[in-house]
Amino acid sequence: MENKKIHLRHRKVLKVSGENSIKFLNNILTSDVSKLKPKELLPSALLSPQGRILFDMLVSSNIVDNSLNDKSVYIEYNKVHQNELIKKLNMYNLRREVSIEKTSYEVLATNKNENFTYTVIDKRFFNEDIRRVV
């Protein structure tokens, strides 16, 4: 496979932070966010009460800050659903100390082993070294 970089203009990133951010996301997403390893992506979804997929996403932690005290989780999603996703997350965020904020991060997919500043490994591809860069 040749080296490629693809700018994913239709993808955006949210930052969910705060003391209860991991517990909050574990209660509403299909993936176990507490098992996130730094610099890795985990596919996930937000479901309706009936089990229908409302939003699919990729979650990761410690993209920017390598400190172990950082409880931030980054959610990569389709930007077409940005307002609805933020509205739904805020609806579930009642009385919790969780902050949900938009970021200015752009998303890039690559198989190059360049030293990008903020890179996460996309584990969905077993035979390839695919990375997401924000």
- Tens digits of per-residue pLDDT, 48-85? 989 999 999 999 886 555 555 567 899 999 999 999 99
pTM of the model: 0.85
* CATH label of the domain that carries residue 41: 3.30.70.1400
CB-neighbour burial class of residue 126 (10 A; exposed 0-12, middle 13-18, buried 19+): exposed
Q: What is the pLDDT of residues 17-46, one digit of tens each?
A: 988 889 999 999 999 998 888 878 889 999
Alpha-carbon Rg for the chain, nearest whole angstrom, is: 15
Which residue range(s) make up the domain with 31? 5-133
Number of domains in the chain: 1
pLDDT of residue 94: 80
pLDDT at 24: 92
Helix (H, G, I), strand (E, B) or coil at 116: coil
Which whole number is the average pLDDT over 5-12? Answer: 88
**What sign results for the dihedral spanned by CA atoms 79, 83, 89, 95?**
positive
